Structure 1
Amino acid sequence: MPVPSHGYVLGPDEGVPGRSADVKCSNESTGGSLAVYRTVLDGQGPPPHRHSHEDETILVLAGTVEADCGDSTFSGGPGSTLFLPRGLTHTFRSVGGPATFLFIVTPGHLDEFFRAQESVTSRDEMIDLAGRFF
């Protein structure tokens, strides 16, 4: 992946070109170094899963996020940071209503999974896609 030749700034309601306003940094826009999404979650997030190469960081802006990571369960409210390292099975959810947070993936490779997931139409396609990334 080529290294970016310039920086950029996005307004509150802007995303990187060709993506939704919630995609603040993509695998492509950062040369693969990270991906950043503004996320609103109300209830359960993804099923328990594990990454071999990517770490996930959640910076809570509003509400409360709770995570299971390995043998630990922890939560954080506004201003908190939750770190979910590669190699540990993890999941997360909002508690007591919606939570708004910045979701950061390093390196940014999983952005390609999230982008491809938008066009999946069947369970078999999702299984195939997950097999390519996890």
Structure 2
Amino acid sequence: MIPTMNYNQPQAGENIEMTGTRKSVILSTECSGGHLTIIEEEISVGVCSTPHVSTREDKVIFVADGKFILFANGKKYEAEKGCNIFIPRGVLHNFKNAGTQTGKLLITITPFGPENFLKDLCLSVKVFGKDPAVMRDVAKRNGVVLA
């Protein structure tokens, strides 16, 4: 049964910390009955995500604050507060905080979310460092291909 309501107080969501980023799960896969996940990411200046392909999900990245460069399908997009981009599954993508302050993204992922991937990746980085082989293995188990 799909819950009819998900009510979260500010700062009540699950936080996942990685180098230069703090991810807060705003709406979990479990709360949406597997339909979607919403994650808020605070990204430090100059930090970029690893280029990757999501094989199971489509996503929308909405710039809530700051200035970013979004890369998708071989194209570069300069994005400021209020901009968004739809990235279908199977498309190579990543982003970089190109601003002068910590930026914030809201990422909506459907049909189900990557919370387990983010937790697994965060734990593996803490234990093994940024070992590319370990990171690729964690990604592969979660339907993500790192470039």
Instruction: Calculate the TM-score normalised by the size of structure 1.
Output: 0.83
Q: What's 2:112 paired with?
A: 108
1:6 and 2:10 aligned: no
The residue correspondences of 1:43-54 to structure 2 (distance < 5 A) are: 43-54=46-57
Q: What's 2:82 paired with?
A: 79
Displacement after TM superposition at 1:74 (Å): 0.7
SS at match of 2:109: strand
CA distance in 1, matches of 2:70, 2:62: 12
CA distance in 2, matches of 1:29, 1:129: 24
As a proportion of its length, which structure holds more strand?
2
Contact 1:39 1:102 in 2 (8 A): yes
1:128 and 2:137 aligned: yes
Q: What's 2:71 paired with?
A: 68
Displacement after TM superposition at 1:73 (Å): 0.8
Contact 1:27 1:112 in 2 (8 A): no
Instruction: Calculate the TM-score normalised by the size of structure 2.
Output: 0.76
Letter paired with 2:39: Y
Paired-residue identity, %: 25
Displacement after TM superposition at 1:61 (Å): 1.4
Q: What's 1:89 paired with?
A: 92
Letter paired with 1:48: P
Q: Which ranges of structure 1 fall in alignment gaps of 5 or more residues?
A: none
CA offsets per residue over residues 67-87 of structure 1, 9 Å max, x none? Answer: 111121112211111222211
Contact 1:59 1:102 in 2 (8 A): yes
1:39 and 2:41 aligned: yes
